[in-house]
Amino acid sequence: MQVPALIFLFCASLTLGGVAPHSAEAKGTAAPESLEVLDNKIQPPTTGSKNNSPKNSLAGSKTSEQGKGSQESVFDPAEVEMLVLEFRFGRYILSDGMIGYLQRGGLLLPLGEVTQMLDFAITVDPVAKQAEGWFISENQRFSLDVARGEVVIEGKSRRFDPNLVVLYPEDIFVDSTLLAKWFPVDFEFDLSALLVKVTAEVPLPFEEKLKREKAHARLGRGTRERPKYPRKEPPYRLLSWPAINSSYNFDYNSETREFGVDSSNLVSGDFLFMNTDVFIAGDREDNLSSLRLRMGRQDPDGELLGPLRASEFSLGDVFGPQIPLIANSQSGAGFQVSSFPLLRESEFDRVNLRGELQVGWEVELYRNEILLSAQTVPNADGRYEFLDVPLLFGSNVIRLVFYGPQGQRREEVQRVNVGQDQASPGKHYFRFATSFQNRDLFEVEDEETTSSPIRGDGQARYIAEYQHGVTRWLSLAGNFASLPLEEGRRYFGTLGFRSGLLGASTRVDVTKNDIGGTALQAATLTNLMGLNLFLEHSRFFEFQSEREENLFDPVSHRSKARLDSSVPSLGLVPRIPWSITGELERRESGVDQIELTNRVSMFLFGTSASNSLDWSLTRGGDIEPLTTGTGTFQLSGRFLRLSLRGALNYGIKPDPELTSTAITGDYRLNRDFSASLGLNRQLNGEQLTTYNAGLNRRFKSFAVGINGAYDDDGAFSIGSSITFSIGREPRKGRWVTRSDPMASSGTASARVFLDNNNNQAFDKGDEPLKDVKFRSGSRDRKTDEDGIALLTGLSSNRPTPIVLDTASLEDPFWVPAHKGYEVVTRPGRPALLNFPVTPTGEIDGTVYLRTGDSEKAVSNVKIQLLKTGDALKKKMVRRLRNHLDTVYVNHKGKLVRRISFSGNRKHTFFNYPFNRSHNRVQLKEPFQSPIENVSLEEEKELEVMQEVKTEFDGFYLFQLVPMGRYLVRVAPEQVERLNLKTPEPQEVVIEGSETVMSGVDFLLEQAIPVEAKVKLVSTESQQK
Tell me: the pLDDT tens digits for 972-1006?
A: 888 887 778 888 888 888 876 667 888 899 988 87
Residue 12: per-residue pLDDT? 57
Q: Find out whether 138 and 150 touch, Cβ atoms under 8 Å.
A: no
Rounded Cα distance between 865 and 1002, Å, is 13
- The DSSP code sequence of 887-927 is EEE-TT--EEEEEEEETTEEEEE-SS---TTS--EEESSPP
Residue 68: per-residue pLDDT? 35
- Three-state DSSP class for 2? helix
Q: In this predicted model, what pLDDT tens digit does every residue of 217-248 receive, in sequence order?
A: 333 333 344 567 888 888 899 999 999 999 99
Residue 277: per-residue pLDDT? 92
Q: Residue by residue, what is the 3-state secondary structure of 383-429?
A: EEEEEEEECCCEEEEEEEEEECCCCCEEEEEEEEEECCCCCCCCCEE
What's the pTM value of the predicted model, to 2 decimals?
0.63
Rounded Cα distance between 43 and 34, Å, is 10
Residue 776: per-residue pLDDT? 62
DSSP-derived letter for residue 554 is -
Buried b (16+ CB within 10 A) or exposed e, 721-752: bbbbbbbbbbbeeeebebbbbbbbbbbbbbbb
Q: Find out whether 1006 and 1013 touch, Cβ atoms under 8 Å.
A: yes
Rounded Cα distance between 508 and 523, Å, is 7
Residue 934: per-residue pLDDT? 47
In DSSP terms, which residues pair with 3 in a beta bridge? none
Rounded Cα distance between 860 and 977, Å, is 14
CA distances from 913 to 162, 274, 622, 875, 1000 (A): 59, 49, 100, 19, 16
Residue 129: per-residue pLDDT? 87
**Which of 956, 999, 998, 1002 lies closest to 982, judged by CA?**
1002
Residue 31: per-residue pLDDT? 33
Q: Cis peptide before 44, with omega less than 30 degrees from 0?
A: no
* 921-923: strand order across its sheet: 905-909, 895-902, 884-889, 921-923
Residue 585: per-residue pLDDT? 92
Dmax over Cα atoms in the chain, in whole Å?
Answer: 117
Q: Find out whether 272 and 313 touch, Cβ atoms under 8 Å.
A: no
Question: Which residues of the chain are modeled with pLDDT < 70?
Answer: 1-84, 96-97, 104-105, 191-193, 206, 208-227, 346, 380, 407, 419-421, 445-455, 571-572, 776-780, 797, 869-942, 992-994, 1008-1024
Residue 910: per-residue pLDDT? 34
Residue 30: per-residue pLDDT? 35
DSSP-derived letter for residue 829 is B
Residue 35: per-residue pLDDT? 25
